[in-house]
A and B are shown apart, each in its own frame.
Chain A
Amino acid sequence: MIRCDDVTKIFRKNGSEVTSLDRFTADIGAGEFVAVRGPSGSGKTTLLLTLGGMQRPSAGLVQFSGRDLYGLSPADRAGLRSGEIGFVFQMFHLVPYLDLMGNVLLASPGKPGPAVRKRAGELLDKLGLAERVSHRPGELSAGERQRLAVARALLNRPKLILADEPTGNLDPENAAEVVRHLAEFHKTGGTVVLVTHGTTADTHADRFLHLKQGRLVAD
């Protein structure tokens, strides 16, 4: 599904250079559950954003389903993200002024029709948020917010979910529940790339990538 060839990302600031990804090469197959590990600053988030078409690499090639991801126009890349990729972040990144339904429907590429609304309702129900559909994110617990972010990521039936430390701000119980939902997505054939510090995903992941100073040191 995703192929990375010598992907390098260098950040330049105030005359100095920081190599966040250093010639990263890997293939991630469809239906895999990949856990990405590494110490802080090892390039995990950079890798995730690069895989999601959000951050153009300084060098190297990223292919998504055979297409050069960064050879696509911004509009095509946005369309691909909308239709095939779901994001889950550690800080949830929910829109504070929209209610739960509004946040989930935000992922809809166009004006959401009845079918999309029905699916959003089902997802909220499945993730245990049906009772709070008209609430706003600020009224939810951290675990609920992350479940809401998962629901939003699942709305468009993506092929790939990129999760950046989604359990980082959660207690073990909520962390396990969030990972369980990602695992369920994985069981239905979805691909998951999960950046994590913890071990919650160990029982679900079928592959582990270890980064150190931007380099893939273990696969």
Chain B
Amino acid sequence: MSLWSHIFGEIGFRKLNALFSLLGLTLAVTVVVASQLLAEADERETRRVTRDMGFNLRLISAETDLGQFYRDGFSRNEMDSAMLDRLATHLTNNVSFNHLVGSLRREYTINGQDILLIGLSETYVAPGQGKKPMGVVIKKGTIHIGSEVARKQKKGRNDTMHLGERQFTVANDPIETGTPDDITIFTRLEDVQSVLRLEGKINEIEAIDCLCLTADQDPLAILRKEIGNILPEVQVVQMRTLADARAKQRQTREKVNQFVLPWVLVACAVWVALLAVLNVRDRRQEIGILRALGKGGGRIAGLFLGKAALLGLMASVFGAVFGTWAVLEFGPSLFPVTKKAIQANPTLAWQMVVATPVFAAFASFIPAMLAVSHDPAETLRED
């Protein structure tokens, strides 16, 4: 009689015990898989939402007077566009910043109205992190105007406007935002450089810091060191409100995972262990007769650990399926912005297939040792 046919037979006979163990293990795997997938979705969502809130890093010339910068909203010291290219070549997954956009910003007067004119470069993204630009893409020959500009200039979508000698088409429906964007005209960097006759110049590089820093690290110091090594001629200003929101969101999720997951795992391990203890109690006579038939401790332990591993294997499949299904089913309503990015994680599923049998066997280890150390004479004399 092989060990496995023995185990299968026992599982079939004591269905409830096996079923409850399977449920406990499946719950553990489901929670782990779901929380992991949700964590990934949450991180994606946080990245996207905060990215859409705007850049939180502003790199300006080291010579800029911060008083002037904060008063005017931009630096009056230009930098070479080549600095943006230089920084972009260092974009990898190992640096703490991403999504670089160079800009040239200046006040400008159009038909007697003082506005802010901003030219934006294309977005530079670290390899493997998608190519979607920040915000809207500005097509050549078009501009995006703020609501106050539209009101005073009496312009709307598809109307034409002149900046200097050049003509542009309005590409947006101006909406009041209650921000300086209402008095801003956005267009491509090279167009603004041309209008302002500042070819090859920018006065700011915007970026987003990554989500990879922990609570005990000083993100600004790290960013300044990293960027300073590449572009010593700039100073880094961080918009702390946005940065802190991102960091707090990530750290809150990590704390929840750090608190909830271990307790779920411990509870499931205790549950499986208790069921295994009950199983050992139910099988005392069987253990006694197996001993009488000359079966060693290895065989006895194998019956319990093998059963646990087998149930763990089944639970890993069920749990991975349930956990993934739950996240795919309910995740989109939790994370509407990145719902299309929510997907199964085969690597995680395989990790569960390996880890769950080990976890189940570990949880059943003490009961299995109880079975091995059980005095068979004690039960065999209970006639």
Q: Would you call A54 and B376 a contact (CB within 8 A)?
A: yes
* Chain B CB within 8 A of A49 CB: yes
* Chain A CB within 8 A of B36 CB: no
| One of A83, A89, A95, A168 near B286 (C-beta < 8 A) | A95
Which A-chain residue is minimally distant from B285 (CB atoms)?
Answer: A93
* Chain B CB within 8 A of A90 CB: yes
| One of B6, B14, B383 near A45 (C-beta < 8 A) | B383
Give the docked Cα–Cα distance between A45 and B383 (Å): 10
* Selected interface stretch from B200-208, B266-274, B288-296, B317-325: B288-296
Give the docked Cα–Cα distance between A164 and B286 (Å): 17
Instruction: Report the minimal beta-carbon distance from A198 to chain B, rounded to whole angstroms.
Output: 15
Given A89-B383, A93-B285: A54 in contact with B291 (beta carbons within 8 A) = yes
Which B-chain residue is minimally distant from A82 (CB atoms)?
Answer: B294
- On chain B, the residues within 8 Å of A74 by CB distance are 296-297
Give the docked Cα–Cα distance between A97 and B1 (Å): 13
Instruction: Report the minimal beta-carbon distance from A139 to chain B, rounded to whole angstroms.
Output: 13
- On chain B, the residues within 8 Å of A128 by CB distance are none
Give the docked Cα–Cα distance between A164 and B288 (Å): 14
Give the docked Cα–Cα distance between A10 and B230 (Å): 84
* Chain B CB within 8 A of A106 CB: yes
Q: Would you call B2 and A111 a contact (CB within 8 A)?
A: yes
- On chain B, the residues within 8 Å of A97 by CB distance are 9-10, 12-14
Q: Would you call B291 and A78 a contact (CB within 8 A)?
A: yes
Total number of A residues with any Cβ neighbor in B under 8 Å: 36
Q: Would you call A46 and B383 a contact (CB within 8 A)?
A: no
Q: Would you call B377 and A54 a contact (CB within 8 A)?
A: yes
Q: Would you call B9 and A107 a contact (CB within 8 A)?
A: no
Q: Would you call A107 and B293 a contact (CB within 8 A)?
A: yes
Q: Would you call B383 and A165 a contact (CB within 8 A)?
A: yes
Q: Would you call A93 and B289 a contact (CB within 8 A)?
A: yes
Question: From residue 28 to 80 of chain A, which have CB atoms closer than 8 A to chain B?
Answer: 45-46, 49, 52, 54-55, 74-75, 78-80
- On chain A, the residues within 8 Å of B285 by CB distance are 91, 93
B1-28 interface code vs A (CB 8 A; 1 in, 0 out): 1100110011011100000000000000
Residue of B6, B12, B380 most packed against chain A (CB within 10 A): B380
Q: Would you call B1 and A54 a contact (CB within 8 A)?
A: no
* Chain A CB within 8 A of B381 CB: yes
Q: Would you call A82 and B383 a contact (CB within 8 A)?
A: no
| One of A49, A75, A106 near B293 (C-beta < 8 A) | A106
Give the docked Cα–Cα distance between A49 and B292 (Å): 9
Q: Would you call A79 and B10 a contact (CB within 8 A)?
A: no
* Chain B CB within 8 A of A98 CB: yes
Which A-chain residue is minimally distant from B10 (CB atoms)?
Answer: A97
| One of A94, A109, A112, A168 near B294 (C-beta < 8 A) | A109
- On chain B, the residues within 8 Å of A46 by CB distance are 381
- On chain A, the residues within 8 Å of B297 by CB distance are 74
Given A78-B291, A106-B293, A107-B293: A54 in contact with B380 (beta carbons within 8 A) = yes
| One of B1, B291, B377 near A98 (C-beta < 8 A) | B1
* Chain B CB within 8 A of A172 CB: no
* Chain B CB within 8 A of A105 CB: yes
Q: Would you call A49 and B377 a contact (CB within 8 A)?
A: yes
Give the docked Cα–Cα distance between A95 and B285 (Å): 9
Q: Would you call A82 and B377 a contact (CB within 8 A)?
A: no
Q: Would you call A49 and B381 a contact (CB within 8 A)?
A: yes
Give the docked Cα–Cα distance between A22 and B1 (Å): 40
Q: Would you call B6 and A98 a contact (CB within 8 A)?
A: yes
B283-314 interface code vs A (CB 8 A; 1 in, 0 out): 00110111111111100000000000000000
A114-152 interface code vs B (CB 8 A; 1 in, 0 out): 000000000000000000000000000000000000001
* Chain B CB within 8 A of A108 CB: yes
Instruction: Report the minimal beta-carbon distance from A93 to chain B, rounded to whole angstroms.
Output: 4
Task: Provide a sorted-by-A list of 9 A–B residue pairs whose CB atoms are within 8 angstroms.
Answer: A46-B381, A81-B292, A87-B289, A89-B380, A93-B292, A97-B10, A102-B5, A102-B9, A108-B1
Give the docked Cα–Cα distance between A166 and B286 (Å): 17
Give the docked Cα–Cα distance between A105 and B285 (Å): 18
